[in-house]
Amino acid sequence: MAKRFENKVVVVTGGTDGIGLTTAQAFAAEGAHIYITGRRQERLDEALKEIGDGVVGVQGDVSNLADLDRLYARIEKDRGRVDVVFANAGVSESAPIGGIEEDHFARVFDINVKGTVFTVQKALPLMSAGASIILAGSGAGSKGFPNLSIYSATKAAIRSFARTWTADLQSRGIRVNVVSPGMILTPAMQTYLESNAGIEDWMKQTIPFGQIGKTKDVAKAVLFLASHESSYVGGEELFVDGGFVAV
C-alpha cells in the first residue's frame, strides 16, 4: 500500500519534543522527507535519532529570520521544494493582566506570531499548487483562561491568519488550516500536572471525553489536513480537544 507522503517534503518547526516530535515521526512513517527545527542543538540531535531515517535537523529559532533563511536554503539545496509546512513552534507563558511585562509580551508574540508569519512566508517560493500549510493554534484562542491573555491573543491571531491566507493563496492552490489542541499530555503538560496537585482531576472532569489527549491525537489531525484527504478543506480550525471548546 502506498504511503500518503511518499517523497513529500515536509517542514515541522519546533519538532524536537511534544506534538512536533510525534507529528514528525508520523510523517516519516508515511514516507516523507522531514525537516525539523529546534532551538537547542543537543535536543535536536536526540530528536533526529528518535525520528530515524528521512529527517534533517536545522537548529534555529523561528523568531530569528536569519535562522529561517538557513532552513529554507538547506531545503532548496537538498530538495528544491516544500510540500507541507506545519508551523508548530511556539511558547506558552502566563501573566495576569496588571502584571504583564514588556519582555513577556515581546517574547510570546515574536515566537508565536512573528515566527509563524515568516515560517510560512519564507516557504512560499518553494511551494506550488497542492501544497498544504497547517498552523498550530490552541483552544486558548477561543476560550478565556486566567493569566493567559497574551498567549491566547497570539493563538487568536493564528486563527485569523488561516482565513486571510486562504484568500491570499487561493490562486496558487495552496491550502491553509489550523489545528488547535486542547489539553494534551506533552512534556510541558506533564511538568505542569506534577507541580499542581489536583489539576489533572479538574481537567478530566472539564473535558467531555473525560481524559487528557495524547500527542498522537494531534499528529493524526495534522496529517489529515496535510493530505489530499482534506483537499476541499481550507481556512478551517480543527479542534483536537475531546470536545472541550465545542461543549
3-state secondary structure of 92: coil
State the pLDDT at residue 75: 98
Tell me whether residue 191 is in a domain: no
Q: Within 13 Å and on the Cβ side, how many CA atoms surround 32?
A: 28
Rounded Cα distance, 163 and 178, in Å: 9
Question: Contact at 8 Å (CB) between 45 and 57?
Answer: yes
Give residues with Cβ within 8 angstroms of 45, minimum separation 6: 57
Rounded Cα distance, 149 and 141, in Å: 9
Q: Using one digit for the tens of pLDDT, what is the confidence trace for 80-116?
A: 999 999 999 999 999 999 999 999 999 999 999 999 9
Residue 232 bears catalytic tag = no
Choose, from 35, 72, 151, 232, the residue flagged as catalytic. 151
Tell me whether residue 205 is in a domain: no
- Residue 39 backbone phi and psi in degrees, to 5: -80, -30
Tell me whether residue 201 is in a domain: no
40 is written with which cell numbers?
A: 537547542
- Tell me which amino acid residue 188 is: A
Tell me whether residue 3 is in a domain: no
The domain spanning residue 116 has which CATH number? 3.40.50.720
State the pLDDT at residue 132: 98
Query: What domain count does the chain have?
Result: 1
Q: What is the DSSP letter of 186?
A: -
pTM exceeds 0.75: yes
Tell me whether residue 31 is in a domain: yes
For residues 9, 13, 16, 18, the Cα torsion angle rounded to the nearest 10 degrees is: -110
72 is written with which cell numbers?
A: 529554507
Tell me whether residue 57 is in a domain: yes
Question: Contact at 8 Å (CB) between 174 and 127?
Answer: yes
Q: Which domain holds residue 55?
A: 9-185+217-237
117-144: burial string, b at 16+ Cβ within 10 Å, e else: bbbbebbbebbeeebbbbbbbbbbbbee
Q: Using one digit for the tens of pLDDT, what is the confidence trace for 159-192?
A: 999 999 999 999 999 999 999 999 999 999 999 9
Give residues with Cβ within 8 angstroms of 196, minimum separation 6: none
Tell me whether residue 4 is in a domain: no
In angstroms, the first-to-last Cα distance of the chain is: 38
Tell me whether residue 196 is in a domain: no
Task: Name the strand (E) or helix (H) holding 97.
Answer: none
Residue ranges in the chain modelled with pLDDT below 50: none
